[in-house]
Amino acid sequence: MGTRPLLYLALLFGMGLIVYPLCADPRQAGVSTLIWLSLWAAPAGALASRSGLVGWVVPVAWLLALTPAIGGQLPGLEGVRFEWFYGGLALAGLFGVGWGVGRASVACSMTSAAVLLLCGLLLAALPALGGMGVAAPWSLAWTARFLDLSPASLVVESAGIDWMRHPAVYSPAGADSIDPLLRLPWVGMWAGPCALLLGCLASWLGIQWGTRSAV
């Protein structure tokens, strides 16, 4: 592998962690990084698919870069510790979904990445629509479902963080009014591995689809 592909993958890796040094509040830097990674993982996967299977080094590098969280040594993630591993698996799963989508049509990987990023942003923003000064046209039950579909919810809750009480969700999404009967948080020890399996399946399907399209 030449220098250019390595620099390309390094750029995708760096884009995933760019929020951490830019966060104004160090106490929120860790969680903010996880939120951004949850949105960037799938688009990064689509872009990394152009490099083939070696592109999977990107989520592995993210996991290694954030392993200080396991020792409680990463500002903003002191309380996560070993639960972070499940959040990392969820990130890898999202990356795998993007990788599969990108691999299915390598020529359109840039477009696929843009669509995945927009979809992720939309799914993450929908629960908080009511807190943006816009009257959300749906009930709390729908808000709970949107929270389930949000990639940020999947990754942050899998990492052991109480996302429902985070300032980004608690008041804006009306999480304080959502009954536990409507929604329970993702359980990392199940959600993380299942997300990874889904990502691997999506990657395999992407390879099959891409191979069939090339014939």
- 5, with CB counted inside 10 A (0-12, 13-18, 19+), is middle
pLDDT tens by residue, the chain, 215 residues: 567 888 999 999 999 988 877 776 767 777 888 889 999 999 999 999 988 899 999 999 998 887 775 555 555 565 666 677 888 899 999 999 999 999 988 778 899 999 999 999 998 888 776 544 455 556 777 777 888 889 999 998 898 887 777 666 656 666 666 766 777 888 888 999 999 999 999 999 999 987 776 55
Q: What backbone phi and psi angles, to 5 degrees, belong to 136?
A: -70, 125
Both tokens of residue 54? 């070696």
| Number of domains into which the chain is organized | 1
Summarised one tens digit per residue, pLDDT across range 47-106 is: 999 888 999 999 999 988 877 755 555 555 656 666 778 888 999 999 999 999 999 887
Residue numbers of the domain that contains 204: 3-214
What would the two tokens of residue 112 be? Answer: 């696929």
Instruction: Report the predicted TM-score, pTM, of the whole model to 2 decimal places.
Output: 0.87
Which residues fall within 8 angstroms of residue 159, CB to CB, at 6 or more apart?
34, 77, 80, 83, 84, 86, 87, 88, 90, 188
Distance in angstroms (rounded) separating the CA atoms of residues 184 and 193: 18
